[in-house]
Amino acid sequence: MVKFLQTGVHILAVVFGISYRHEDKYMHVFHKKQPDLNWENKEVREEIYKMVKWWMDKGLGGFRIDAIINIKKALPLTSYEPDRDDGMCSTHVMLKHASGVGEFLTELREIDVKTL
């Protein structure tokens, strides 16, 4: 479920490395203690690739990425009408408008993690 901040704050989430946080409010698709990373930020992606390299250097052979579709958000960020009793909006509404996750995965695959 996604609950966005007030209008105008959305754009800040695109600029900062992690989702914009103010007074303990930030974008999170899953648990409230798991703020979404801003994959639109190239510096954030580069840091993720460094982590991938670190784990591969330790001998890890792969990663489970079953929720990977959630890294891409429909831009520009917008508030969606609540469709749940708790006043939140299901992520399915936002995700059906998002595109481009394949570009991030292609970028990750094409990175020679041994040279990071």
8 conformational bin, left if phi > 0, alpha if psi -120 to 50, beta if neither: left
Question: Taking the C-alpha atoms of 64, 14, 75 and 92 in order, what is their torsion angle to the nearest 10 degrees?
Answer: 40
Q: For residue 99, what are its two tokens?
A: 């595109």
Dist. CA 48–CA 111, nearest whole Å: 11
Kindly report the pTM of this predicted structure: 0.67
For the segment 25-54, what is each residue's pLDDT rounded down to a tens digit? Answer: 677 788 778 888 888 888 888 888 888 888
For the segment 53-64, what is each residue's pLDDT rounded down to a tens digit? Answer: 888 889 888 888
Question: Taking the C-alpha atoms of 26, 82, 69 and 103 in order, what is their torsion angle to the nearest 10 degrees?
Answer: -80
